[in-house]
């Protein structure tokens, strides 16, 4: 009943020719695949060109971040309205790299989720613990705080356009994936938090993606878990062949 999602986070990679090359390779490899929501998140500067290259393919376009104001004197920022103008239907918010390097907090994540939702974007809301937090037994506390903070004031109706991505920081870009059991345990916890906040229907309907060194070799075990509804993929989304394997496995 939850349509799986495979989302590619391209991070700070791919110039326009490289981006077009990637999607041109990808489209035929996943043509005919149904029952999965495919999302790619290129850098802002290539969104519009990628939009043209994926037209008619069913692939959804996402941005990697957005600001919470619609417009104004905010040098360097991009608003949800402008992302929609560039062809986006989705936006990643609260990625751990933004939290780690760019001062993103649960409060700023929350403002962005509200603004993106109001504009009509589907949010890929990222949460996840660091290695230190896991090893000190704080994984669930961290997840609870990030979920409550990020979703503060977000109502049940708005949750229809929120996808949660569980990305343990220690698994991102490290080649060290969470085991299927570790991931399932965290996903089940996140779903129970959604149940406390929103009740059974929203908890059952919300997609929860796993992210952190997802690749063709480990997607099968992860996607087979009850509470894992897809993947947010960095490294393996940068090649058409590996990303297509993930899409076709979902
Ligand atoms: P990775 O990145 O797949 O390269 O670990 C995942 C992410 O940061 O979304």
Q: Is the minimum distance from the CB of 8 to ligand 1 under 6 angstroms?
A: no
Q: Is the minimum distance from the CB of 128 to ligand 1 under 6 angstroms?
A: no
Catalytically active residues are 95, 167
The whole-number pLDDT of residue 15 equals 98
pLDDT-derived band of residue 176, with 50, 70 and 90 as boundaries? Answer: confident
Q: Is the minimum distance from the CB of 142 to ligand 1 under 6 angstroms?
A: no
DSSP secondary structure string, 39-63? EEE--GGGHHHHHHHHTTS-PEEEE
Q: Is the minimum distance from the CB of 121 to ligand 1 under 6 angstroms?
A: no
Helix (H, G, I), strand (E, B), or coil: what is residue 124? Answer: strand
Q: How far is the CA of 211 from the centre of ligand 1 (A)?
A: 6
Residue-wise pLDDT tens digits, 183-218: 999 999 999 999 999 999 999 999 999 999 999 999
- Residues listed for the chain: 250
Q: Are 234 and 172 in contact (CB under 8 A)?
A: yes
The whole-number pLDDT of residue 203 equals 98
Q: How far is the CA of 72 from the centre of ligand 1 (A)?
A: 32
The whole-number pLDDT of residue 35 equals 96
DSSP secondary structure string, 143-201? HHHHHHHHTTT--TTGGGGEEEEE--GGGTTSS-PPPHHHHHHHHHHHHHHHHHHH-HH
Q: Are 152 and 111 in contact (CB under 8 A)?
A: no
Q: How far is the CA of 210 from the centre of ligand 1 (A)?
A: 10
Q: Is the pLDDT of residue 1 over 90?
A: no
Taking residues 74-79, what's their average pLDDT? Answer: 98
Give the span between the Cα atoms of 119 and 142, in whole angstroms. 28
Taking residues 29-52, what's their average pLDDT? Answer: 97
Residue-wise pLDDT tens digits, 211-244: 999 999 999 999 999 999 999 999 999 999 999 9
Q: Is the pLDDT of residue 123 over 90?
A: yes
Buried b (16+ CB within 10 A) or exposed e, 53-75: bbeeeebbbbbbbbbbeeeeeee
The whole-number pLDDT of residue 27 equals 98
Taking residues 167-184, what's their average pLDDT? Answer: 93
Ligand 1, pocket-test mutation among 164, 235, 237, 245, most atoms within 8 A of CB: 235
Phi, psi of 162 (to 5 degrees): -120, 130
**Across all residues in the chain, what is the average pLDDT?**
97
Residue-wise pLDDT tens digits, 140-155: 999 999 999 999 999 9
pLDDT-derived band of residue 175, with 50, 70 and 90 as boundaries? Answer: confident
Residue-wise pLDDT tens digits, 86-106: 999 999 999 999 999 999 999
Q: Are 153 and 110 in contact (CB under 8 A)?
A: yes
Q: Is the pLDDT of residue 158 over 90?
A: yes
């Amino acid at each position: 009943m939850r349509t799986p999602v495979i989302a590619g986070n391209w991070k700070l990679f791919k110039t326009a020719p490289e981006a077009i090359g990637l999607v041109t390779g990808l489209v035929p490899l996943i043509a005919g695949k149904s029952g999965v929501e495919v999302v790619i998140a290129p850098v802002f500067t290539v969104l519009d060109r990628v939009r043209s290259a994926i037209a008619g393919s069913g692939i959804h376009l996402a941005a990697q971040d957005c600001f919470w104001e619609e417009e104004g004197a905010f040098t360097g920022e991009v608003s949800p309205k402008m992302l929609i103008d560039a062809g986006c239907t989705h936006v990643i918010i609260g990625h751990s790299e933004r939290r780690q390097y760019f001062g993103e907090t649960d409060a700023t994540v929350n403002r962005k989720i509200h603004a993106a939702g109001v504009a009509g974007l589907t949010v890929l809301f990222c949460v996840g613990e660091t290695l230190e937090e896991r090893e000190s037994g704080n994984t669930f506390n961290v997840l609870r705080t990030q979920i409550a903070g990020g979703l503060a004031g977000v109502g049940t109706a708005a949750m229809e356009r929120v996808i949660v991505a569980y990305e343990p920081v220690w698994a991102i870009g490290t080649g060290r994936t969470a085991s299927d059991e570790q991931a399932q345990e965290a996903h089940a916890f996140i779903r129970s938090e959604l149940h406390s906040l929103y009740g059974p229907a929203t908890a059952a309907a919300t997609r929860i993606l796993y992210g952190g060194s997802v690749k063709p070799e480990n997607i099968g075990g992860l996607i087979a878990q009850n509470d894992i509804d897809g993947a947010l993929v960095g490294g393996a989304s940068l090649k058409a062949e590996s990303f297509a394997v993930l899409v076709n496995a979902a």
